[in-house]
């Protein structure tokens, strides 16, 4: 016997919003929906009518796709010719690219643009439907990132050596610009809070005690200026340029007189910072430990030593220059009153174990009987291994590479500010751009 399937019946068109019905057939059920017959094309119809038709199509797409209309809509858009799709998106203003807030400020610093150049870039990108925030919002974002930094800039009487080597051009005093942050402790604590906000703090697998925060302070002259920096060692890549913040800069050589004049204000602040407490957001307190870095010449000036020719040339102990040649000398104890650490040593010898260093020094003394032991050899013989064992890191961790990196960075940052006629304002603007660029909350790497 042959069974004839019942014919599918349509719902009565008595209501414009009739609900869809299901009719049972021999194969699969059919879903019948009421679709109004258009009297005009969508291009000629009123906007309200077009919206009603769009709602009908949304319902149809939802039914046909089985509850996932987004997949079906994407497939429909793929079938539209590219030029037609681009024209549709342009009419709907969906092809506009909006640069997120804050990115423009970071791009300004990293590319090296002033606000005038940034305005020209904004106008040019607008022709390609790329929108950027206004200059007013950019300046506001810059102020918000530096709220904890009390910046100062002034001219100070620095000592400048004469250009002629024969002594006919003596040292003279000259007013030169200097920009700095004071107090530096507040700047370091603000930097710590931003690192915590960005979740970039690390204790290097327990090598740094969980209740301590290590900060490295160092300085170096290069690129026509002296820069005093701090680096947070509780970060990945602590010697990177991104983790090196300059808090004092002056355009003069790092002589003893100039250092006392420009950075003498930080002596008490850094002493107070050593051993102070920083409270994290979870309420846990951390003890601040401050280290120092720099080349031998800079640290000798910092400690008040005369250099390698001094009677006591070592930064770590009170050994005399004559006693360094005698391996049996008893005065080789470390001076524990100094918390700053000297790290500018011969990198090729850092990998030697303790016995190999002693063998090397014994070989040197036996084969060069009249030779002197330079200060770096003394550091290698008596202080390298104890330092590594004491702190758990190689000396490269405490090195000054980050300070060296900022010289080229400041030269590039000075190009957008070279049009500022006042040298004091120019140096302050350069320092401001640098501090914005190294802010831990930056979204651009």
> Is there a single domain that holds both residue 239 and residue 136?
no
Taking CA atoms, 367 is separated from 154, 282, 380, in Å, by 56, 60, 18
Token representation of residue 208 = 């740094």
Confidence label for 342 from pLDDT (cuts 50, 70 and 90) = very low
Q: Are 237 and 200 in contact (CB under 8 A)?
A: no
pLDDT above 90 for 149 = no
> Is there a single domain that holds both residue 189 and residue 277?
yes
The mean of the pLDDT values for the chain is: 81
> Is there a single domain that holds both residue 310 and residue 405?
yes
Q: Can you tell me the mean pLDDT for 14-31? A: 57
> Is there a single domain that holds both residue 129 and residue 152?
no
Q: Can you tell me the mean pLDDT for 352-380? A: 81
pLDDT of residue 220: 92
Q: Is residue 133 part of a domain?
A: yes
pLDDT of residue 345: 39
Per the model's pLDDT, the better-predicted residue between 434 and 346 turns out to be: 434
Segment 147-151 long-range contacts (CB within 8 Å, at least 24 positions apart): 148/186, 148/187, 148/189, 148/190, 149/181, 149/186, 149/187, 149/190, 149/435, 150/181, 150/182, 150/183, 150/186, 151/179, 151/180, 151/181, 151/428, 151/431, 151/432
> Is there a single domain that holds both residue 101 and residue 177?
no
Distance CA 315, CA 308 (A): 10
> Is there a single domain that holds both residue 332 and residue 417?
yes
Q: Is residue 71 part of a domain?
A: no
> Is there a single domain that holds both residue 129 and residue 259?
no
pLDDT of residue 339: 37
> Is there a single domain that holds both residue 339 and residue 352?
yes
pLDDT above 90 for 305 = no
> Is there a single domain that holds both residue 249 and residue 357?
yes
Q: Can you tell me the mean pLDDT for 335-353? A: 41
> Is there a single domain that holds both residue 219 and residue 257?
yes
Confidence label for 229 from pLDDT (cuts 50, 70 and 90) = very high
Q: Which domain holds residue 370?
A: 142-437
Question: Based on the structure, what is the number of domains in the chain?
Answer: 2
Q: Is residue 66 part of a domain?
A: no
The total number of residues written for the chain in this structure = 445
Q: Is residue 33 part of a domain?
A: no
pLDDT above 70 for 230 = yes
pLDDT of residue 350: 44
Per the model's pLDDT, the better-predicted residue between 349 and 235 turns out to be: 235
Phi, psi values for residue 313, rounded to 5°: -85, -10
> Is there a single domain that holds both residue 256 and residue 395?
yes
Mention every residue, 6+ apart, whose C-beta is less than 8 A from residue 325. Answer: 365, 372, 373
> Is there a single domain that holds both residue 128 and residue 240?
no
* Domain end position, chosen among 113, 141, 169: 141
Q: Can you tell me the mean pLDDT for 98-124? A: 82
pLDDT of residue 329: 60
């Amino acid at each position: 016997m042959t069974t004839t399937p019942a014919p599918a019946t349509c719902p009565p068109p008595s209501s414009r919003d009739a609900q869809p019905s299901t009719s049972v057939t021999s194969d699969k059920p059919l879903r019948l929906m009421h679709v109004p017959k258009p009297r005009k094309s969508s291009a000629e119809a009123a906007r309200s009518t077009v919206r009603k038709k769009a709602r009908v199509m949304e319902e149809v797409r939802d039914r046909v796709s089985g509850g996932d209309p987004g997949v079906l809509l994407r497939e429909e858009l793929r079938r539209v010719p590219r030029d037609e799709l681009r024209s549709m998106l342009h009419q709907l203003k969906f092809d506009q690219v909006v640069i997120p807030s804050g990115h423009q400020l970071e791009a300004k610093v990293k590319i090296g643009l002033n606000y005038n150049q940034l305005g020209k870039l904004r106008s040019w990108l607008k022709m390609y439907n790329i929108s950027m925030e206004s200059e007013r919002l950019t300046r506001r974002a810059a102020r918000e990132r530096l709220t904890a930094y009390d910046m100062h800039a002034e001219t100070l009487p620095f000592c400048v050596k004469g250009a002629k080597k024969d002594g006919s051009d003596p040292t003279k005093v000259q007013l030169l610009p200097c920009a700095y942050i004071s107090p530096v402790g507040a700047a370091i604590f603000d930097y710590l809070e931003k690192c915590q906000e960005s979740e970039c703090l690390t204790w290097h697998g327990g090598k740094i005690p969980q209740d301590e925060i290590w900060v490295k302070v160092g300085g170096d002259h290069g690129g026509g200026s002296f820069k005093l920096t701090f680096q947070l060692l509780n970060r990945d890549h602590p010697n990177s340029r991104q983790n090196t913040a300059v808090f004092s800069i002056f355009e003069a050589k790092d002589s003893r007189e100039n250092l006392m004049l420009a950075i003498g204000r930080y002596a008490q602040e850094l002493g107070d910072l050593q051993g102070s407490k920083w409270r994290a957001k979870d309420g846990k307190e951390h003890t601040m430990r401050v280290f120092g870095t720099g080349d031998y010449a800079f640290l000798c000036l910092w400690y008040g030593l005369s250099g390698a020719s001094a009677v006591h040339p070592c930064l770590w102990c009170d050994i005399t220059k004559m006693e360094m040649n005698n391996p049996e000398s008893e005065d080789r104890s470390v001076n524990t009153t100094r918390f700053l650490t000297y790290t500018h040593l011969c990198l090729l010898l850092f990998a030697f174990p303790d016995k190999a260093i002693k063998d090397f020094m014994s070989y040197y003394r036996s084969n060069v009987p009249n030779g002197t032991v330079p200060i770096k050899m003394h550091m290698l013989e008596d202080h390298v291994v104890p330092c590594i064992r004491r702190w758990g890191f190689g000396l490269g961790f405490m090195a000054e590479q980050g300070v060296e990196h900022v010289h080229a960075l400041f030269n590039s940052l000075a190009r957008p500010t070279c049009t500022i006629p006042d040298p004091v304002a120019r140096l302050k603007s350069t320092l401001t751009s640098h501090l914005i660029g190294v802010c831990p909350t930056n979204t651009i790497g």
